[in-house]
């Protein structure tokens, strides 16, 4: 006889947010490895992940969507326009939630999401060409993660870490360093407004090396979610 899983048996969702170059992927990869090594079965969901467990057909479909959303050239990106990309990104998050994240949580598997949709919301909030309300609405059905780790760093420091950037990372405002800095600082200011409402774990990572960021996040996982690494 099988009993349905109790809510406490559900997996937890942990996500990272922050501007481009803040160190989200670096931290998410490290946490993913450490959680599994500690015996907490965890999947990492990011823009390269296409695996729908035990379903080759759905995996192939997700791969095609990833292709359309993330593997397009700059000319296509510009031609399609901001409203299309908002809806395309909302499709991607909706599908990952439906096909990958929800089933994993129900099976007791934890989910690390690199990264949350908050950065997209922040990007659209500073874009006068798209209604902020529309952007909020198309992500409104996604549940809030159990823990949001907000990596705070100035755009200038993030640029120093990254070295280079894409047109998208300047909000298509130009190709100079100042364009990246101006745009990303506006996105950062917007993310800070969400932080205040959301109970996020906020870390100023400016002077923190990778180990320090990881250890601080690991402490928060233990304290807030009782996941010990
Ligand atoms: N704590 C850190 N200190 C210094 N450099 C870092 C740190 N974390 C990440 N990096 C480096 O900064 C760059 C951007 O990191 P990445 O994780 O790709 O950021 P994001 O996913 O937020 O865009 C990479 O070259 C990465 O190796
Ligand atoms: Mg990244």
Could you tell me the residue ranges of all domains in the chain?
Answer: 14-49+109-222
Angstrom CA distances, 225 to 11, 195, 207, stand at: 10, 19, 26
CA of 103 to the centre of ligand 1 (A): 30
Indicate which residue's Cα is closest to atom 8 of ligand 1. Answer: 23
Indicate which residue's Cα is closest to atom 27 of ligand 1. Answer: 26
pLDDT at res. 8: 67
Q: Which residues of the chain have pLDDT under 70?
A: 1-8
CA of 1 to the centre of ligand 2 (A): 43
Alpha helices by DSSP H, 71-131: 74-80, 82-95, 102-106, 118-125
For the CA of 20, the nearest atom of ligand 1: 23
- Cα gap 17→154, rounded to integer Å: 14
Counting ligands in written order, the one closest to the CA of 162 is 1
Does residue 98 contact residue 106 with C-beta atoms inside 8 Å? no
For the CA of 162, the nearest atom of ligand 1: 13
With a 6 A CB cut-off, is 213 part of the ligand 1 pocket? yes
- Could you tell me the fold of the domain covering 14-49+109-222? Rossmann fold (3.40.50)
pLDDT at res. 74: 86
With a 6 A CB cut-off, is 22 part of the ligand 1 pocket? yes
Indicate which residue's Cα is closest to atom 4 of ligand 1. Answer: 209
- Cα gap 176→111, rounded to integer Å: 37
With a 6 A CB cut-off, is 119 part of the ligand 1 pocket? no
- Beta strands 147-152 and 13-17 are parallel
pLDDT at res. 198: 85
pTM metric for this prediction: 0.95
pLDDT at res. 48: 86
- Cα gap 65→71, rounded to integer Å: 9
- Cα gap 61→95, rounded to integer Å: 10
Q: 192: Cβ–Cβ under 8 A, 6 or more apart, which residues?
A: 152
Matching residue, tokens 């180990």 = 211
Q: Per the structure block, which two tokens stand in for 219?
A: 């402490």
């Amino acid at each position: 006889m099988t009993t349905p899983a109790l809510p406490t048996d559900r997996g937890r969702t942990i996500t990272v947010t922050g501007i481009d170059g803040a160190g989200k992927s670096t931290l998410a990869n490290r946490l993913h490895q450490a959680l599994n090594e500690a015996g907490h079965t965890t999947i990492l969901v990011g823009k390269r992940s296409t695996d729908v467990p035990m379903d080759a057909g759905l995996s192939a479909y997700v791969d095609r969507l990833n292709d359309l959303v993330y593997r397009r050239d700059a000319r296509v990106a510009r031609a399609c326009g901001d409203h299309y990309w908002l809806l395309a990104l909302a499709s991607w998050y909706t599908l990952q939630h439906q096909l990958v994240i929800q089933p994993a949580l129900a099976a007791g598997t934890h989910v690390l999401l690199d990264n949350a949709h908050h950065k997209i919301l922040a990007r659209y909030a500073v874009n006068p060409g798209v209604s902020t309300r529309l952007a909020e609405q198309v992500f409104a059905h996604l549940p809030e993660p159990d823990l949001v780790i907000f990596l705070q760093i100035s755009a200038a420091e993030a640029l120093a870490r990254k070295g280079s950037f894409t047109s998208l990372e300047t909000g298509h405002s130009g190709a100079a360093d100042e364009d990246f800095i101006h745009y990303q600082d506006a996105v950062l200011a917007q993310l800070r407004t969400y932080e205040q409402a959301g109970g996020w774990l906020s870390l100023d990572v400016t002077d923190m090396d990778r180990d320090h960021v990881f250890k601080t996040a690991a402490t928060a996982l233990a304290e807030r979610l009782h996941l010990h690494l």
